[in-house]
Amino acid sequence: MAHIAYVRVSTEEQNEARQIEALEKRGIGKWFTEKISAKDMNRPQLNAMLDYVREGDTVYIHDFSRLARSTKDLLEIVEFLQKKQVHLVSNKENLDTSTPTGKLMLTMIAAINEFERQNLLDRQREGVAIAKREGKYKGRQVKQIDDATFSAQYARYTRWEINKRQLAEALSISRPTLDLSLIHISEPTRRTPISYAVFCLKKKKADYDYKKIPSTSMLSNAVFRLQNKTL
């Protein structure tokens, strides 16, 4: 049961000594330190720490903002640690996820995040409704990716030359869009076996006409064009 510390400052000019001094009293056995923005979770030392921890370990941070800047990212990291049965302790917030009080605080943070998310969705829907009434709403724009580009990048993915995040970057789409777009993919070279492949850059299931999808096809021909509904 190791004691592990994650220390982060945003820029090279900033000094992490204050955080280290505050955490040294915890008997830290392993340190993960980096100078990088927390705008997302794509941080080398953060990912290294998440890979390193094992069941029963405790991760110490100076405060929540060192771990994540957004509530969404924070909850995602905490959920990951909980699945590995790793505790999280924050000095500034005096939170320990191994205690009932700490678990209650996490529940409240999650509830606030859900409340904020629902408010945002409500405002978006209201804005779309107003734009539609005024004739200004054009809807979601469909991103087109030509067959050759997709096939070439997907081939690199199946050869383990790139991971899924890098595949999304190569196609200039987000990772969630890629995950939702690779529907029923089937090729002998695919990493995980599924039955058939349709590549689509639209998320709503209602937009898919599954009856038009042929039973077999090469991946390069399995691009579902939502604009003109052609296969």
* pLDDT for the residue 51: 92
Q: ∠ at Cα 28 (34, 57), nearest 5°?
A: 95
Question: pLDDT tens, 73-97?
Answer: 888 888 899 899 999 999 988 889 8
In the three-class reduction of DSSP (H, G, I as helix; E, B as strand; rest coil), residue 136 is classed as coil
pTM for the structure as a whole? 0.51
124 versus 113: which is more confidently predicted? 124
38 versus 5: which is more confidently predicted? 5
Q: Is residue 136's pLDDT more than 70? A: yes
- At the fourth CATH level, the homologous superfamily of domain 3-103 is Resolvase, N-terminal catalytic domain (3.40.50.1390)
* Cα separation, 49 vs 34, whole angstroms: 11
Q: CA 98, 100, 106, 112: dihedral to nearest 10 degrees?
A: 180
Residue 118's pLDDT band (cuts 50, 70, 90): confident
Domain ranges of the chain: 3-103, 147-221
In the three-class reduction of DSSP (H, G, I as helix; E, B as strand; rest coil), residue 29 is classed as coil
Question: pLDDT tens, 25-75?
Answer: 999 999 999 999 888 888 999 999 999 999 999 999 998 888 888 878 888
Tell me whether residue 151 is one of the annotated catalytic residues. no
The two structure tokens encoding residue 64: 């929540």
